[in-house]
Structure 1
Amino acid sequence: MQFHHHGYVSGDPLIQPAAGVGINRPVELPNEVDVLIVGTGPAGMLAAAQLSQFPSVATRIVERRPARLAIGQADGIQTRTVETFQAFGFAERITAEAYRITETAFWKPDPADSSRIIRIARTQDDPADISEFPHLVVNQARVLDYFAEFMANSPTRMSPDYGFEFRSLSVSDEGEYPVTVTLVRTSGPHAGQERVVRAKYVVGADGARSKVRESIGCALAGDQANHAWGVMDVLAVTDFPDIRLKCAIQSGMGGSILLIPREGGHLFRMYVDLGEVEAQNKGAVRSTSVEEIIDKANAILHPYTLDVRNVAWHSVYEVGHRLTDRFDDVLPEQRGTRIPRVFITGDACHTHSAKAGQGMNVSMQDGFNLAWKLGHVLEGRSPESLLSTYSAERQVVAKNLIDFDKEWSTLMARKPEEFENPSELEDFYVRTAEFPAGFMTEYAPSMLVATAKHQCLAPAFTIGKRFKSAPVVRVADANRVHLGHHAKADGRWRIYVFADSAPHSADSPTERFANWITNSPDSPLAATPSGADPDAWFDVKVIYQQDHTGVDINAVPEVFKPQVGPFRLTDYEKVYATDPTEDIFELRGLNRGGLIVIVRPDQYVANILPLTATTELAAFFAPVLRPRVETRVFNE
């Protein structure tokens, strides 16, 4: 963590000084805002947290509930999401309180007595070492708390506006605030009163029954399988030996259970198979009592017993897989003729079963994808055309998720005797581990993602996929760190320069590139507003092939040691060397001649280029950046 560059900080360094709209932030919801987010679910809260890092952008997030969520329905935190939490600064803290999944047990009927279940397999949760981050289980409400803390400590001092329900909106072609939103107060002395807010952009994060979605003429389309599940979070006493392991349990007596231990050492969740449901009789299954769910769980667990002492939460649902054809208010025939003004995220645009543990995770990535783009457009960094990439990128991701979840939920509901291969369920779980971990998202070429022309320079940094971190050694202090862990959710692009084998010679590709990116009018750094820190929009780092003792810090080009803050202090934390025990060049197959890896603010690889390809680098950023503007700079 870096601080003190604006003067000595004697308090909590996580609390950033107020700046921009965070100075004298109105307590009451104002009449006009830049971005209005509807709903404080995972997608909405992450989007708000990201936008809280843009001091000049007035963002408000409204919620119909009168206060914070007390207990959330979602609980699975995939490793890609923990990686995202790292960017927001709370991965270690939430990991400490969460349940960590390291192994999954599979239970099936005993061949000698099908009325009994036996454990038939154990699988590691991450056998291929996909990520250095853990797979966690923690209440959704706690995740939202962490994002609320982050935005409250941000320069904009953001906090949710509770007690406002979305009613309708209209979009005009004119005016600075073209979206008119009608809200109604749901609590307090003014409950029932309407309130009108005008916005430049609106984000609908208001769930599967989204009124924002309805207001822009979108509808969820897809199938709803006639198969019901009861889900409950309980405290219980049991002789089932794997009660603190994630388990997929199939019973010979009929039915299945997906068991998910919860945080705190005692609570656990059970998804209990309630069987097929007649289409004309859905109301009956939805009224299934928690006592009936417990009885069904005991039947599936035989010969083991489950004595439930407390039920924290329960529900009944049917598996549904639905998706909207667009994630914004631009109709297909309007593409290219107008910019989107209203966006939908999370369950508002894609629904599926909870058993793949993807709902909260994919929703948060929706918010991450959209929010930095809104920030860049509203701050004048990028043209409005950037916003059209949100729907194009995330709709494909949601479609892939639904296809995966259909297969997984179908396998979970299948009876043991219906499998051709007895190990089919656990084989599928292991074979597809990278998808539910959140690492199969791969954005197609666009204005934000280059083609794979130079992919061979860095095979493991797949263009369009998230940047896969690796250990390096920080030269200045000899600390071993993970390179990707220093990419914060601050809205900046990352430019990683992997140096050639002789970087300090005057005519080396690394030196020539450093000179170009510092001085050329075609350099993306030239778009940085005058008066801002030189790394305000672009975080440029260098990784040398030598170990840290072989790097002369004084010979490192100044672009990798920018002077920041009002005292123009040197930032030494952008210069790295290889870790002799885990050489990043070898781990990621990097070309020893040197290369550039460009990473988006949401941690996805956007381009890979040779050190000499400055013309291509300039061409890549040309449509993404507006020419230099005298943007107001808010110093900490």
Structure 2
Amino acid sequence: MQYHLNGFKAGNYQVPDEAREPAPPPPMVDLPKEVDVLIVGCGPAGLALARQLAGFADIRTCIVEQKSGPMLFGQADGISCRTMEIMEAFNSSELVVKEAYQLHQNAFWEPDVQNPQQITRAHKVADARLGLSEFIHGVVNQARLHDILLDGMAHSITHLVPHYNRRLLELGVDRNLTQDLRAHPITATFERNDARQSNQVETVRARYVVGCDGARSAVRKSLGIELQGDSANKAWGVMDVLPVTNFPDIRVKSFIQSKDNGAVMLVPREGGYLVRLYVELDLLGKDQRASQLNLSVDDLIARARRIMSPYQFEVKEVAWWSIYEVGQRVAERFDDTPAGSPDSLIPRAFVAGDACHTHSPKGGWGLNTSLPDTFNLGWKLAAVLQGKSQPKLLQTYEAERRKVAFMLINADREMSALVATRPKAEKDASSVKTGTADIEHFIARQNGFIAGTSIGYDASWLCTGHENQALASGFPIGQRFHSAQAVRVADGRPVHLGHLNKADGRWRIFIFGDAKSPLDAGSGSARLVGFLAGADTSPVKKYTPTGADVDAVIEVFAVFQQQDLAIEAMPDFLWPAKGKYGLRDYEKVFQTNGAHDIFEQRGIDRLHGCIVVVRPDQHIATILPLDAHAELSRFFDGFMLK
């Protein structure tokens, strides 16, 4: 898709440039008095959480934003492979893929040896993330990602929409009520800040609150949570522009280092014409802020031109620009339970996204870490609110995501140092200068983290069974389910199994059959299906509410090696009757063939097969042998409620 040819215009990219207009400001609607979950902030973390909770009719969610309306043009632009997988869980990946610019190559530019005041291409390589997912790392306006999440919220069963023009004045947590799950211990006071109704105060009581309100989070400050880490000591400029240039790699992600004028990281944007530039600026003095440099966008353009010499670079339009500081900080805790609290203490307030980790935007990691933060938290809140899981589930959010935040700032610190051409501080003046080869090596080494596909959670009661990892070596326990295709038995269609893991709060059990036919009563898969369908200790039977569909809480899929199977020969449990009419579900049984052999692709033991249990956030919870019926029951019994 191409757009922005005659100037940048925000809005829905499915509408032609000539007709595209920003959505009108939403009407002011009174805040509810009482809710289950209060979300503060409409960034990617807040909207991803709201999008997930909007799908539960019995959970009342309220999302509040200080700005006057939806974002028109975003700061973040990179959409990692993992974020694309999450958007697929929301049934929204196709539109993002259609609109995004896909990053297939990286180019590296250095000072010309013969003429050091000019740059020359060192080399160009394929992007290191290719092949880590069925999706490709892309670039699209953050506002468009917001639009897609907002659209999903509005069209959900709860028709959830944000409340804009609200500034958080005060947030209180009643410690006498936090351990009563029926109580609403959170009290939040907001002030309307629109021109017509300013100073009007509204109060909301909530069971849980999640602060997704950015680096200067009012929720975090109200909870007394501090950011810890390095302060900013380097300034960079960023701008999205429509240029006329003879720079040959203007449509390739490029790392450009000059001899004396600094560095530029160039990222082509969606639509074929728009380009983002991160421009290295100067060191900051102690306690100095980037805003005090008094630089204009013309200064950024002039610096970029000097760095990109001898190539011409004429900016015709600036869609957005900013100057930011490089600093890496992580919140001391991600919820309201103080350090050293008893293990039984239930958290009721959380921080997510930039509210709990800050860093530079160059790696595109902000949105791509913030959105998975609340993708991790959302299903846990839903499970506890619906009475499906024990409240200890909420304690795992901090344990799992704070580790990722430290990985993020460490990678950002290294990346920021490599991209820059000058030492970060005076004490580093004797340090060895890095070149673009160091950047390339870093990207190759960190490609799984940059893509988000290698991020995994440590061993716990939610991630267990590591002694069985060899049964499916390509599905690392704790990491997301790495999708591969199998052929649906009912109609012969190849299907990505990872796309079956939707953001609807359900667990998935994947049965990968052993060498015996599933029609053989003595096979491991047949015995497992019999246990899941009929045993009193079956987690499917135990935790499915009376009268609900068999897959309402735990959905079971089966993948077999045999290629001569027929759906009508399968046990009823694998093509169950569902809904008010008892219609058959024909989409739970798969087989392999030569082109789509997931057993080969994911290292699954062909002789013995295995069970792969996938959490509602698509991460692998455990791997078990097909005959580990008791162990499978104990896993779910450890946290689920009837």
With structure 1 as the length reference, what TM-score do the two structures score? 0.92
Q: Does 1:393 align with 2:409?
A: no
Deviation by residue 1:209-266 (Cα, 9 ceiling, x = unmatched): 0010011110111102411101111111111111111100000123000001111111
Tell me the amino acid that sits aligned with residue 552 of structure 2: A
Deviation by residue 1:121-174 (Cα, 9 ceiling, x = unmatched): 112114662111011101111101100111111111111111212122111223
Summarize the Cα distance change of 1:284–1:561 in structure 2 as closer, same or farther, 3 Å threshold.
closer
Q: Give the CA deviation at 1:189.
A: 3.5
Q: Does 1:520 align with 2:520?
A: no
Q: Give the CA deviation at 1:282.
A: 3.4
Range with bigger deviation, 343-352 or 117-126: 117-126
- Return structure 1 stretches of 4+ with deviation > 6 angstroms: none
Partner in structure 2 of residue 166 of structure 1? 168
Q: Does 1:618 align with 2:633?
A: yes
- Of 536, 540, 552, 2:556 maps to 540
In 2, the alpha carbon distance for the partners of 1:166 and 1:443 equals: 33
- Of 74, 86, 89, 1:87 maps to 89
Q: Does 1:500 align with 2:509?
A: no
Tell me the amino acid that sits aligned with residue 554 of structure 1: E
In 2, the alpha carbon distance for the partners of 1:601 and 1:337 equals: 23
Partner in structure 2 of residue 20 of structure 1? none
Q: Give the CA deviation at 1:187.
A: 1.5
Partner in structure 2 of residue 448 of structure 1? 462
Summarize the Cα distance change of 1:453–1:290 in structure 2 as closer, same or farther, 3 Å threshold.
same
In 1, the alpha carbon distance for the partners of 2:119 and 2:191 equals: 53
Q: Give the CA deviation at 1:554.
A: 1.9
Partner in structure 2 of residue 15 of structure 1? none
Q: Does 1:263 align with 2:270?
A: yes
Q: Secondary structure of the equivalent of 1:546?
A: coil
Tell me the amino acid that sits aligned with residue 487 of structure 1: N
Q: Does 1:469 align with 2:483?
A: yes
Preserved CA contact (<8 Å) 1:480 1:579: no
Q: Secondary structure of the equivalent of 2:231?
A: strand
Partner in structure 2 of residue 436 of structure 1? 450
- Of 202, 211, 215, 2:218 maps to 211
In 2, the alpha carbon distance for the partners of 1:127 and 1:159 equals: 35
Give the alignment's Cα RMSD to 1 decimal: 1.6
In 2, the alpha carbon distance for the partners of 1:286 and 1:578 equals: 61
Range with bigger deviation, 337-346 or 186-195: 186-195
Q: Give the CA deviation at 1:452.
A: 0.6
Preserved CA contact (<8 Å) 1:76 1:138: yes
Q: Give the CA deviation at 1:421.
A: 6.9
Partner in structure 2 of residue 59 of structure 1? 61
Summarize the Cα distance change of 1:363–1:97 in structure 2 as closer, same or farther, 3 Å threshold.
same
For residues 2-41 of structure 1, the aligned pairs below 5 Å read: 28-41=30-43
Q: Give the CA deviation at 1:447.
A: 2.4
Q: Secondary structure of the equivalent of 1:257?
A: strand
Aligned residues: 600
Preserved CA contact (<8 Å) 1:286 1:316: no
Q: Secondary structure of the equivalent of 1:114?
A: coil
Summarize the Cα distance change of 1:286–1:32 in structure 2 as closer, same or farther, 3 Å threshold.
farther
Q: Does 1:254 align with 2:261?
A: yes
Range with bigger deviation, 370-379 or 334-343: 334-343
- Of 332, 337, 341, 1:325 maps to 332
In 2, the alpha carbon distance for the partners of 1:201 and 1:432 equals: 35
Deviation by residue 1:10-43 (Cα, 9 ceiling, x = unmatched): xxxxxxxxxxxxxxxx964210000000000000
Tell me the amino acid that sits aligned with residue 572 of structure 2: E
- Of 308, 313, 317, 2:320 maps to 313
Preserved CA contact (<8 Å) 1:123 1:430: no
- Of 620, 639, 642, 1:605 maps to 620
Deviation by residue 1:421-440 (Cα, 9 ceiling, x = unmatched): 76222222222211101122
In 1, the alpha carbon distance for the partners of 2:268 and 2:342 equals: 46
Summarize the Cα distance change of 1:126–1:404 in structure 2 as closer, same or farther, 3 Å threshold.
same
Tell me the amino acid that sits aligned with residue 477 of structure 1: D
**Identical columns (%):** 47
In 1, the alpha carbon distance for the partners of 2:211 and 2:74 equals: 19
Tell me the amino acid that sits aligned with residue 152 of structure 2: F
Preserved CA contact (<8 Å) 1:29 1:161: yes
Tell me the amino acid that sits aligned with residue 75 of structure 1: D
Partner in structure 2 of residue 559 of structure 1? 573
In 2, the alpha carbon distance for the partners of 1:213 and 1:239 equals: 47
For residues 89-168 of structure 1, the aligned pairs below 5 Å read: 89-126=91-128, 129-168=131-170
Q: Secondary structure of the equivalent of 2:486?
A: strand
Preserved CA contact (<8 Å) 1:168 1:182: yes
- Of 357, 365, 377, 1:358 maps to 365
Partner in structure 2 of residue 425 of structure 1? 439
Deviation by residue 1:576-600 (Cα, 9 ceiling, x = unmatched): 0013223111111101212100000
Q: Give the CA deviation at 1:495.
A: 0.4
Q: Give the CA deviation at 1:396.
A: 0.4
Partner in structure 1 of residue 243 of structure 2? 236
Q: Give the CA deviation at 1:399.
A: 0.4
Q: Give the CA deviation at 1:280.
A: 5.2
Preserved CA contact (<8 Å) 1:494 1:598: yes
Tell me the amino acid that sits aligned with residue 236 of structure 2: W
Partner in structure 2 of residue 192 of structure 1? 199
- Of 409, 425, 446, 2:416 maps to 409
Tell me the amino acid that sits aligned with residue 469 of structure 1: S
Range with bigger deviation, 277-286 or 341-350: 277-286
